[in-house]
């Protein structure tokens, strides 16, 4: 009986959090991306940046995106920080919750980034 109740509670919890992934809310992330104008550089689908040197974001791992945004906030001198004049400014106003939400949203988007299954690093030099 306890088992059944537990699984019912779990099922209910899952239904409630279907749109919230590990602390991030996809809808809130979408709104934050609109609010902060991220698409101006990363593209309408966050997968078609306006410049080939700007990264595609769509579909990237949630924890990676959250880490990257935190690193821009820390700057080049911070622990594990990233120094980039453009993104440093973009990341500055984001709250910790904004970052979690944006990361969840970015991860939910279909992207075209792939992992090369035939990585050159797998071949051993003889
Ligand atoms: C003015 C153009 C511009 C805007 C606006 C902008 N970005 Fe960026 N973004 C860049 C550039 C350029 C880079 C690459 C920086 C580098 O080399 O570290 C980048 C990198 C990133 C990365 C790192 C991706 C990776 O693969 O490591 C993330 C995440 C990111 N941006 C998210 C955002 C978010 C979220 C917003 C809105 C809050 C935003 N960007 C707004 C230009 C922009």
Choose among 64, 96, 94: nearest CA to 80.
64
User: Could you tell me the end-to-end alpha-carbon distance of the chain, in angstroms, rounded to an integer?
Assistant: 61
Neighbours of 106 (CB within 10 A): 29
Rounded Cα–Cα distance for residues 77 and 8 (Å): 48
Identify the pLDDT of residue 23: 82
The pLDDT, as a whole number, for residue 123 is 60
Atom of ligand 1 nearest to the CA of 32: 38
- Residues within 6 Å of ligand 1 by CB: 36-38, 40-42, 54-55, 57, 65, 68-69, 82, 84, 86-87, 90, 102
Give me the pLDDT at residue 54, please. Answer: 97
Best substitution site from 41, 44, 113 to test ligand 1's pocket, by max atoms within 8 Å of Cβ? 41
CA of 16 to the centre of ligand 1 (A): 31
Residue ranges in the chain modelled with pLDDT below 70: 1-22, 119-126
| Rounded-to-integer distance, Cα 108 and Cα 59, Å | 6
Residue 21: which of 106, 93, 94, 95 has the closest Cα? 106
CA of 49 from ligand 1 middle (Å) equals 9
Tokens representing 49? 């940046």
The number of angstroms, rounded, from the C-alpha of 35 to the middle of its chain's C-alpha atoms is 16
pLDDT for residue 116: 72
Could you identify the residue written with the tokens 């690093």? 121
For residue 15, what pLDDT is reported?
47
The pLDDT assigned to 42 comes to: 98
- Positive or negative CA dihedral for 109, 44, 51, 97? negative
pLDDT of residue 115: 75
44 C-alpha vs ligand 1 centroid, how far in Å?
A: 13
């Amino acid at each position: 009986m306890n088992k059944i109740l537990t699984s019912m509670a779990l099922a209910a919890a899952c239904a409630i959090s279907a749109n919230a992934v590990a602390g991030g809310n996809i809808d809130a992330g979408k709104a934050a991306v609109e609010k902060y104008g991220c698409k101006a550089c990363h593209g309408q689908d966050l997968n078609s940046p306006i410049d080939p040197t700007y990264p595609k974001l769509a579909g990237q791992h949630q924890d990676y995106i959250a880490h990257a945004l935190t690193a821009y906030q820390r700057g080049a001198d911070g622990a594990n920080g990233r120094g980039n004049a453009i993104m440093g400014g973009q990341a500055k106003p984001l709250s910790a919750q904004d970052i979690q939400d944006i990361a969840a949203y970015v991860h939910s988007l279909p992207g075209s980034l792939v992992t090369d299954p035939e990585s050159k690093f797998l071949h051993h030099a003889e």
